[in-house]
Amino acid sequence: MQMNFRTTLTLCAAAALMVACGKKEEPAPVAAPAPAAAPAPAPAPAPTAASDVIKIGHVGPTSGAIAHLGKDNENGARMAVEELNAKGVMIGGKKMTIELLPEDDAGDPKQGTAVATKLVDAKVNGVIGHLNSGTTIPASAIYDAAGIPQISPSATNPKYTRQGFKGVFRVVADDVHLGSTLGKYAVNTLKGKSIGVIDDRTAYGQGVADEFKKAVEAAGGTIAGHEFTTDKATDFNAILTTLKGKKVDVVFFGGMDAVAGPMIKQMVQLGIKAKFMGGDGICSGELPKLAGEAMKDDMVFCAEAGGVEGEQKAGMEKFRADFKAKFNADVQVYAPYVYDALNVMVAAMVKADSADPAKYLPELKKTDYKGVTGNIAFDEKGDIKNGALTLMTYKGGKRTELAVIR
């Protein structure tokens, strides 16, 4: 059938309309509902203004073989901070909050300098520590460069305060006093005729051993031999056998209690019948546990680089009782010296009416403080004036005081 043009156009339009009507229309995408507004956070408590905070660093070995000594020191610092904050420290007309920044140097010089740098970066106002001479001495250069005062409660190597630094102090006697007193005691009281020396090659161990040797020889005694070990050693049979061959009647060890304990055990196993001596590093409450049954009464003699006499003993006894009640642990050695060192530093800030190291350092140098460890004042190098030593032995597994010597 033939269609004209108009008919054809009409049919095409109708077809197009049918196709268009038959196509399913895609629904318009539905917009996702707007998320519910998050509830407004509760307002944070207003932080203490930085100017109201005094940051004091404490460094000691809280890990490793002598962690018990490092923790003892740190607890002394915590006790001081808590008491000072409870009493209230006023500087510049404002009540200050003391914040303790504790760090672990593990008794390692490299780690010691790393944490010293960390404390400098934290802009501490002062540092109490370190425990060991081997970490204290290299760290002191970092604090000095930053102008931050440092008080060591236990580092005894003379070099620490003889570097020409303006802001270094210690609240205990040094190795010259420690070693010389023990050397005289070995010859004059213990009547040592053939004296053996061992040191662990650390700054502390070597330093106190060398001073001991000088004093023995000055008192007319004989050093039969000087052997060496490390602060991580556990086997001493070779060096002890060498000294046994020299028939020693006194063995002096320059090092820490963690090494001294096993050394005493091996000395007894080898049949060496000699007195055992050491400095403050072995003179801890932990030594009897480390030496075990090998340690007999009046066998071990040591010296703590500090001491109190007379009326001042009551203050020390109270501190020890308070410490035991707070931490459920006896004082090892230097917790009271840490406690006093931190109080001395804050007292200087209060006198200067400033926690700025440059402003309170002159007051720190003029310190005249009566603490639980005795009277504290510093000489021009930063050493304690008229420092005391306490000679000790062990009876029934307990430290027993023999004498306080100045």
Residue ranges per structural domain of the chain: 51-172+309-385, 176-304
The fraction of the chain above a pLDDT of 90, given in percent, is 86
**Mean pLDDT of the residues in the chain:** 89
Position 3 confidence tier, pLDDT thresholds 50, 70, 90 = very low
According to the model, what pLDDT value does residue 406 have? 85
Amino acid at 216: V
Angle subtended by helix axes 175-188 and 203-218, to nearest 10: 40
pLDDT in tens, 168-211: 999 999 999 999 999 999 999 999 999 999 999 999 999 999 99
DSSP state of 237: H
Q: Does residue 297 surpass a pLDDT of 80?
A: yes
Q: Does residue 21 surpass a pLDDT of 80?
A: no
Q: Which tokens belong to 149?
A: 């005062």
Q: Does residue 319 surpass a pLDDT of 90?
A: yes
Angle subtended by helix axes 237-245 and 257-269, to nearest 10: 60
How far is Cα 338 from Cα 357, in angstroms, rounded to an integer? 19
How far is Cα 149 from Cα 270, in angstroms, rounded to an integer? 48
Q: What is the mean pLDDT of residues 131-148?
A: 98
Q: Does residue 17 surpass a pLDDT of 70?
A: no
pLDDT in tens, 375-404: 999 999 999 999 999 999 999 999 999 999
How far is Cα 250 from Cα 193, in angstroms, rounded to an integer? 8
pLDDT in tens, 81-136: 999 999 999 999 999 999 999 999 999 999 999 999 999 999 999 999 999 999 99
According to the model, what pLDDT value does residue 20 have? 36
1.10.10.10, 3.40.1160.10, 3.40.50.2300, 1.20.120.1200: which CATH number matches 176-304?
3.40.50.2300
pLDDT in tens, 212-259: 999 999 999 999 999 999 999 999 999 999 999 999 999 999 999 999
Q: What is the mean pLDDT of residues 293-308?
A: 95
Position 51 confidence tier, pLDDT thresholds 50, 70, 90 = confident
How far is Cα 22 from Cα 215, in angstroms, rounded to an integer? 115
Check if 51-172+309-385 and 176-304 are the same fold. yes
Q: What is the mean pLDDT of residues 307-330?
A: 95
According to the model, what pLDDT value does residue 320 have? 97
Top pLDDT among 47 and 308 is at 308
Predicted TM-score (pTM) of the model is 0.84
Amino acid at 52: D
Please say whether the beta carbons of 388 and 370 come within 8 A: no
According to the model, what pLDDT value does residue 42 have? 39
CATH class of the region 51-172+309-385: alpha beta
Please say whether the beta carbons of 125 and 98 come within 8 A: no
Pairing mode of beta strands 53-60, 94-104: parallel
Q: Which residues pair with 100 in a beta bridge?
A: 56
Position 50 confidence tier, pLDDT thresholds 50, 70, 90 = low
**Nearest one of 382, 240, 388 to 312, comparing CA atoms:** 388
